[in-house]
């Protein structure tokens, strides 16, 4: 597993803000960003919007985004909204 330059723990209570903060750090994350979703049990539409936006920024900047500890329910949501293909996943 490649080392990620930026590693962020995502708190379920503030996923949107955490993603926005992560977005700001994308410039300094040349090797990639790892987001720890292990405490996120559910996602809603606002989270999904932010994740789509985050994936877009990461794509433009050529930064690889790795989601860690995503639970299976959330993973299924990401598959249904076709966001899963825009991230890599590590259990």
Partner 1 sequence: MITQEVLQERVAIPQATESLSPERVAYLEKLVSQARTAAAVFTQFTQEDVDRIVKPMVLAGLGQAQYLARLAVEETKLGVMEDKVLKNMCATEFTYNYIKDKRTVGVIREFPERNLVEIAEPIGVIFSITPITNPTSTVLFKCIMAIKTRNAVIFSPHPNAWHCCSEAVKIMYETALKHGAPEGVFSCLESHTLQDNAYLMRHKDVGLIDATGGPGAVKAAYSSGKPALGVGPGNTPVYLEKTADVSTAVVDIILSKTFDNGTICASEQTVVIDDEIYDVVLKKFAELGTHICNEKETELLARTVIDPATGCMQPMAVGQKATDIARLVGLAVKPDTKLLIAPIQGVGPEHPLSVEKLFPVLAVYRAKSVDEALKVCIDVNHAGGLGHTAAIFSRNDEIIRKFGEMMNAGRIIVNSPGSIGALGAVYNDLVPTFSFGCGTGGGNSTTDNVNIYHYLNIKRVARRTQAHMWFRVPNQIYFNLNAVENIRQFPSRSTVIVTNPSMEQIGHVDLVRRNIPEGTRVHVSVIPDAEPEVKVVMQGVEALNFYKADQIIALGGGSVIDAAKIMKLKYESPEADLEELAAPFLDLRKRVIQYPTEKVNHARLIAIATTSGTGSEITPFAVLTDKERGRKVTLADYSLTPDVAIVDPQFVMSMPKGLTADTGIDCLTHGLEAVVSSYGSAYTDCNAMQAIRMAFKYLPIAFEHPEDEEARSMMHNASCIAAMAFSNASVGVNHALAHAFGARFHVAHGRANALMLPHVIAYNAAVPTKFVPSPYQKGYLAHKKYATVADLLGLGGHTIEEKVKNLIVATEQLLDQLGFPRSIAELGISKEEFERAIPELTKLAFDDPSWRSNPRMPLITELAELFWKAYQGRGLAKVASASQQTS
Q: Which residues are near partner 1 by CB under 8 A?
A: 42-46, 48-49, 73-74, 76-77, 80-81
5 backbone dihedrals φ, ψ, rounded to 5° = -70, -35
29/43 with CB nearer partner 1: 43
39/46 with CB nearer partner 1: 46
Q: Compute the least distance from the CB of residue 72 to partner 1, in Å.
A: 10
Is residue 76 a contact partner of residue 43, using CB atoms and an 8 Å limit? no
2/80 with CB nearer partner 1: 80
Residues 6+ apart with CB under 8 A from 78: 43, 48, 51, 70, 84, 87
């Amino acid at each position: 597993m490649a080392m990620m330059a930026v590693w962020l723990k995502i708190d379920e209570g503030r996923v949107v803000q955490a993603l926005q903060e992560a977005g700001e750090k994308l410039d300094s994350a040349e090797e990639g960003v790892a987001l720890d979703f292990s405490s996120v049990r559910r996602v809603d539409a606002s989270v999904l919007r932010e994740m789509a936006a985050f994936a877009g920024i990461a794509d433009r900047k050529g930064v690889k985004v790795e989601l860690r500890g995503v639970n299976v329910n959330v993973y299924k949501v990401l598959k249904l909204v076709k966001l899963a293909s825009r991230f890599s996943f590590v259990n």
